[in-house]
Amino acid sequence: MDIPFSRWHLVIEKRRSRRRFDPNLPIAPEVLTALDKVCNQFAPFPHARARLVTESAESVFKGIIGSLGKVKGAPAFIAFIGDMDDPLVQEEVGYTGEGIILEATALGLNTCWVGGFFRPEVAASLAKVGKKERVLAVTPVGYAQKSESWEEKLMTGFGRSHKRLALSKLVTGLPGEKWPDWVNVSLEAARLAPSAANRQPWGFDVQDDGITVFIRTKGLGFGISKRFDCGIAMLHLEVAAVDSGCKGEWEFLASPQVAKFKIRS
Ligand SMILES: Cc1cc2nc3c(=O)[nH]c(=O)nc-3n(C[C@H](O)[C@H](O)[C@H](O)COP(=O)(O)O)c2cc1C
């Protein structure tokens, strides 16, 4: 499937993680069909895929302590699945999943990447994964409750978890005054990407012929690969670059680099 660059670029700023859903607002059949279609058709890598599941969503999520911090009330979830024999599985599933999250947002739905507080074996059984596959993350889908509950506010650190670092903390390479417009727009979009615990592990090295995404931070990863977060930022970067008229291709690189977006001349 071709990426709808402008449609996804438009919702990057709008997307926010939501964890409390209105159980009285079901997803209309035509919206579910559209979401199912993108889950099946947006598969840019052979070993990364997504599956929409419309049953037992509640059973997939778990709390931090008891039910505290648990995603609640969603009528459906999406499992983001990778073949673990693929060494690039983390960034590929992150990239693929974020496309689907942005399409869900464009369809008016709310989501929340969940890589820690879910039951992978329950998700795997509901999504019917293969022997070599694993569910690396899930998202609830549905309509969030109008206002954030006290528990949701607590979980987002009263809004702090939506904040992002300034580009000056994330970017190396060519100085800002030498950046063409597409670089500025793409880095802004990449900066807004969601990451596990909002850790923003990525850095961006700007060169004459493209931008390299690399792992900027040291330290532990909450059991979720930082390359997964970088895959999410790659999708944002590319969507904004192409929407600003700069086409390119990804070349995957060894750690601590992740991939370079090379502009097509
Ligand atoms: C790979 C990944 C895993 C995540 N896992 C969880 C999780 O287990 N539980 C949770 O409540 N939020 C989880 N989040 C959501 C992040 O906390 C959230 O994206 C981040 O704080 C930024 O906030 P925003 O999405 O509203 O912009 C995860 C996000 C990502 C990208």
Q: For position 160, what pLDDT does the model report?
A: 81
Backbone CA torsion sign across 59, 60, 64, 68: negative
Ranges under pLDDT 50 in the chain: none
Question: Model confidence over 22-33: pLDDT tens digits?
Answer: 999 999 999 999
Q: For position 161, what pLDDT does the model report?
A: 81
Backbone CA torsion sign across 232, 11, 155, 119: negative
Of 100, 254, 115, whose CA–CA distance to 195 is shortest?
Answer: 115
Sheet holding 202-207, edge to edge: 171-173, 202-207, 210-215, 257-263, 248-252
Q: Which residues of 55-93 are buried (b: 16+ CB within 10 A; e: fewer)?
A: eebbebbbeeeeeebbbbbbbbbbbbbbbeeeebbbbbb
Question: Model confidence over 148-167: pLDDT tens digits?
Answer: 888 888 888 887 888 999 99
Q: For position 94, what pLDDT does the model report?
A: 98
SS3 16: coil
**Ligand 1 midpoint to CA 165 (Å):** 16
**Ligand 1 midpoint to CA 256 (Å):** 22
Q: For position 265, what pLDDT does the model report?
A: 79
Cis peptide before 256 (omega within 30 of 0): yes
Sheet holding 76-83, edge to edge: 48-53, 76-83, 133-141
Q: For position 64, what pLDDT does the model report?
A: 81
**Ligand 1 midpoint to CA 143 (Å):** 17
Helix (H) or strand (E) holding 202: strand 202-207
Ligand 1: residues with CB < 6 A are: 16-17, 19, 112-117, 137, 155, 161-162, 194-198, 224, 228-229, 232
The gap from C-alpha 80 to its chain's centroid, in whole angstroms, comes to 10
Q: What is the DSSP string of 151-191?
A: HHHHHTTTTGGG----GGGTEEES-GGG--HHHHHHHHHHH
Rounded distance between C-alpha atoms, residue 193 and residue 233, angstroms = 5
- CA-nearest residue, atom 6 of ligand 1: 114
SS3 265: coil
Q: For position 220, what pLDDT does the model report?
A: 77
Question: Model confidence over 89-98: pLDDT tens digits?
Answer: 999 999 999 9
Q: For position 151, what pLDDT does the model report?
A: 82
